[in-house]
Amino acid sequence: MNFTLHQLVVFLKITQTKSITKAAEELHLTQPAVSIQLKNLQDQFDIPLTEVIGRQLYVTEFGREIAVAAQKIIDEVSTINYKTLAYKGILSGKLKISVVSTGKYVIPYFLSDFMKMNSGIELVMDVTNKTKVVKSLKNNEVDFALVSIPPDDLALESEVLMANKLFLVGNKETLPIDTKPVQSDFFAKVPLIFREDGSATKTSMEKYLQQNGIVSNMRLQLTSNEAVKQAVVAGLGYSIMPLIGLKNELEKNDIVIIPAEGLPMITNWRLIWLKGKAMSPVAAAYLEFIRATKESIRLNSFSWIDAY
């Protein structure tokens, strides 16, 4: 066997894209160059790695097994490179984090100093809905995920970063004259704005309504925290929202907190990862950084939350 690391990288990309053309594009190579690398690797095996039916490329069962082995080899080589640089005092590599959409108000503050301290690190961060965040975590595609409500079907470890408070909010024209907390019947009389299915914010809101025996009058269901905010500001209804994304609107009085029995609901922003995960040097360094600095980051950047 004389296969090269480059051949394994090319073959792995082919198995991921199921296309010579797409693999060439993502690797910034020509199609002939990719085809030659695939042929050179194939020549070392008696069993086909791929097959073409019609115009579609398929990876054989044997090819999929080789791809798994190739990924492990590539990961080990990367670890050697990272450890070599770390021994020299230079931390290098990728830090991959998946973040639920509302987490975009949180995670930058817990990354900024770490990235400034380690210029050799490349940050790959995906801000998306919770369903995709959990999927990327389950598939071991990321080092960490940031969520407020961890999934209960995965074996996980976690590090709490800060509290996540959820309040009932409306626009400045909807604040009740009576300053007493609104009762459960209030929710049945007003239009409510929800996040999409699967959102941790919607889960929390539905839990509150269910615990208080409230049949909701849902007017809108929107797919982002920003969209819900703008709908509330415009006077389309009320919502139970995380305080973390409302700082500017509260300061400008575009949105007001409406006292309600049983609110705020409090969860925690957590950095989570698969239990037993073999962390890269970069991921391990980031976790160490978080554990050492999270409290000072919270005090410096989020102390305003304590006033609510």
In angstroms, the CA 257 to CA 302 distance is 18
Which amino acid is residue 141, in one-letter code? E
- Tell me: do 260 and 278 sit in the same domain: no
Quickly tell me which residue has 């490349």 as its tokens.
Answer: 122
| CB neighbours of residue 248 within 10 Å | 10
Does the N-terminal peptide bond of residue 264 adopt cis geometry, omega within 30 degrees of 0? yes
Lowest mean pLDDT among 42-51, 152-161, 183-192: 183-192
| CB neighbours of residue 175 within 10 Å | 16
- Which pLDDT score is estimated for 176? 59
- Tell me: do 11 and 61 sit in the same domain: yes
Supply the range of the domain harboring residue 283: 90-162+268-307
Domain endpoint, select from 86, 107, 127? 86
Average pLDDT over all residues of the chain: 90
CB 166 within 8 A of CB 156: no
- Tell me: do 181 and 168 sit in the same domain: yes
- Tell me: do 255 and 183 sit in the same domain: yes
Residues 6+ apart with CB under 8 A from 34: 10, 14, 20, 23, 24, 27
Q: pLDDT > 90: what percent of the chain?
A: 70
Q: What value does the mean pLDDT take over residues 221-249?
A: 93
**Structure token pair of residue 16:** 């991921």
Lowest mean pLDDT among 26-30, 71-75, 100-104, 209-213: 71-75
- Which pLDDT score is estimated for 223? 87
Residues 6+ apart with CB under 8 A from 113: 289, 293, 297
The CATH number covering residue 16 comes to 1.10.10.10
- Which pLDDT score is estimated for 86? 64
In angstroms, the CA 54 to CA 52 distance is 6
- Tell me: do 98 and 223 sit in the same domain: no
In angstroms, the CA 79 to CA 284 distance is 12
The CATH number covering residue 219 comes to 3.40.190.10
Lowest mean pLDDT among 172-186, 201-215, 228-242, 246-260: 172-186
CB 133 within 8 A of CB 99: yes
Angle among Cα 274, 129, 229 to the nearest 5 degrees reads: 135
- Tell me: do 36 and 124 sit in the same domain: no
Residue 82 has pLDDT above 70, yes or no: no
**Structure token pair of residue 111:** 């990354």
In angstroms, the CA 7 to CA 10 distance is 5
User: How many domains are contained in the chain?
Assistant: 3
- Tell me: do 102 and 181 sit in the same domain: no
Which amino acid is residue 166, in one-letter code? L
**Each residue of 21-41: pLDDT tens digit?**
999 998 889 999 999 999 999
- Tell me: do 172 and 256 sit in the same domain: yes
**Each residue of 157-211: pLDDT tens digit?**
999 999 999 999 999 887 655 668 888 888 888 899 999 988 889 999 999 999 9
- Which pLDDT score is estimated for 182? 86
- Tell me: do 192 and 240 sit in the same domain: yes
- Which pLDDT score is estimated for 107? 97
- Which pLDDT score is estimated for 78? 72
